[in-house]
Amino acid sequence: MKRQVKVGKIYIGGGAPVSVQSMTNTPTLDYAKTLEQIQRLESAGCDIVRLAISSDEEVQSCRQIIGKTKAPLVADIQFNYRHAIACADIGFDKIRFNPGYLDSEDKVKEVVTACKRNGVPIRVGVNSGSLDKEVTAKYDGAEALAQSALKHIAILEKFGFYDNVISVKSSDVRTMVKAYEILDEKCDYPLHLGVTESGSKLRGAVKSSVGIGALLLKGIGDTIRVSLTGDPVSEVETAKMILGSLDLYREGVEIVSCPTCSRCEYDMENIVDTLENSLKGVKKRVKVAVMGCVVNGPGEAKGADIALCGGGKGKTALYVKGQVVKTIDQSDAVKEILLLIDKL
Ligand code: SF4
C-alpha cells in the first residue's frame, strides 16, 4: 500500500479511489476564463485541476480563483521557488515542483517550510524531455526517468518532507510503463500516471489508455491525467472511461454496444452516439447495452440495467434488468432509455 497524501478534500494513495486530474490551458492571467474552465472540468468529473504559474502576476491572478472552486488546485511551478512559496501560502492545495532544478538547497528548504506550514504536498514530476544531466550520464530510458525522480525526492526527504507524489511521464508508452514499475518497486509514494505529449484526441486517448491501463491492471497508480491536445474536458472524459473500463470509477453510465453487422436492422449507431453525448454528465452508476440483434443481445442484456436488442426493421426490444419489457420504434429508443435512467 502506498502512503496517502491529502490534496484539499481529495486523498491520493493509501487505498483511496484513483482520482482524475487535468490542467487548464487558458491564460492563468485571465482569471475569469480560467475559473470558467476549471468549473467546466469539475462538471465533467475532474477531481484535481492544475494551473501553470510562471510569473508574479499569475500568482496574484490566482487569488481571484482560489476558494471559488470545488476541485483542489495544483500550482505547476517550473523554476521560480518564490512562486512555489507564494502559491503554498495563498491556498493552493498542491505544488508541482522539482527541487533538483534549484541552484541552492536553502531555496528548497524555504519551499519545504512553506509547504509544511500550509499542509501542502509536492508532486515531483519528471518528463523524458527534461531529465537531469547527471542521471542521464549514468542511466537511460525508463531507469533514467525513475532515478531522476528519486533524486528530486531525496532532496525533499533531506529536509524531512515526505508528503510527496511522483510522476515519470514519457511520450513512449513502453518507457513510461517501465519507469512507473521501477518506482513502484523502489518507493512507497503515491504515483500520478500519465503518457505525456500523447497527441490529439483519438491518438492520445489510445496511447494513454494503453499506458495508464497497463499499469492500473497491475495495481500501480493512484491518480491519473490523460494529456490531449485541445479542450482539457476531453482529458477528463477519457480518464473516466479508462477508469470505468476497469471498474475503478465510482459513477457514470457505461455503454456497451456491438460493432453491428448485416443482422442489425435499426439505426444503432445514431442511438449509441446520442446516448454517449446525452449521458456524459450523469453520475448514476448504470450499465446500458445497445445490441444489434438476438445473436448476442439477450446475453448482454442480462448483465445490463437497461438494454436494447434489435428485433426487425427499425424496431428494438427494450430490456430492464435482463427482462424484455416491450418492443419500441428506433425513434423512441433514446427517450425511453433516458426516462428509465432517471427513474433508476
Ligand atoms: S449482436 Fe448481432 S448485429 Fe451485433 S455484431 Fe453481433 S451478430 Fe451483428
pLDDT tens string 176-208: 999 999 999 999 999 999 999 888 999 999 999
pLDDT in the model for residue 197:
86
Q: Which helix H or strand E contains 289, and what residues bound it? A: strand 286-291
Cβ-contact 10, 24 below 8 angstroms: no
- Mutation pick for ligand 1 pocket among 272, 293, 316, 319 (CB with most ligand atoms within 8 Å): 293
Residue owning the nearest CA to atom 8 of ligand 1 = 261
Checking if the pLDDT of 320 tops 80, the result is yes
- Residues with CB under 6 Å of ligand 1 are 258-261, 263-264, 291-293, 295-297
Range(s) within the chain of domains with CATH label 3.20.20.20: 5-245
Q: Residue 234 pLDDT more than 80? A: yes
Confidence of residue 280 (pLDDT cuts 50, 70, 90): confident
Q: How far is the CA of 263 from the centre of ligand 1 (A)?
A: 6
> Is the pLDDT confidence value at 251 over 90?
no
294 Cα nearest atom in ligand 1: 2
* Residue 250: predicted pLDDT: 74
Record the pTM: 0.92
Between CA 240 and CA 223 the distance in angstroms is: 11
* Superfamily for domain range 253-343: Sulfite Reductase Hemoprotein, domain 1 (3.30.413.10)
CATH 3.30.413.10 domain locations along the chain: 253-343
Residue 344 has pLDDT above 90, yes or no: no
pLDDT at 129: 83
CA of residue 296 to ligand 1 center, whole Å = 6
Report the nearest-CA residue for atom 2 of ligand 1: 293
pLDDT given at position 1: 83
pLDDT score recorded for residue 287: 94
pLDDT digits (tens, 9 = 90+) for 62-84: 999 999 999 999 999 988 999 99
pLDDT in tens, 18-30: 999 999 999 999 9
Mutate to test the pocket of ligand 1, among 264, 267, 308, 319 (most ligand atoms within 8 A of CB): 264
Residue 26 zone, left/alpha/beta (φ > 0; ψ -120 to 50; rest): beta
pLDDT tens for each residue of 117-165: 999 999 999 998 878 888 999 999 999 999 999 999 999 999 999 999 9
For the domain covering 5-245, report its CATH number. 3.20.20.20
Q: What is the distance in A from the centroid of ligand 1 to the CA of 143?
A: 46
At residue 124, the 3 state secondary structure works out as: strand
Q: Is the pLDDT of residue 283 over 90?
A: no
Test site for ligand 1: of 260, 308, 330, most ligand atoms within 8 A of the Cβ: 260
Which atom of ligand 1 is closest in space to residue 300's alpha carbon? 1
- Span from the CA of 214 to the centroid of ligand 1 (angstroms): 29
- d(CA 71, CA 212) in angstroms, rounded, equals 22
Residue-wise burial string across 39-60, b where 16 or more C-beta atoms lie within 10 A, e elsewhere:
bebbebbbbbbbbebeeeebbe
Yes or no: say if 301 and 310 are a contact pair by the CB < 8 Å rule: no
pLDDT at 199: 87
Closest CA to ligand 1's atom 5: 260
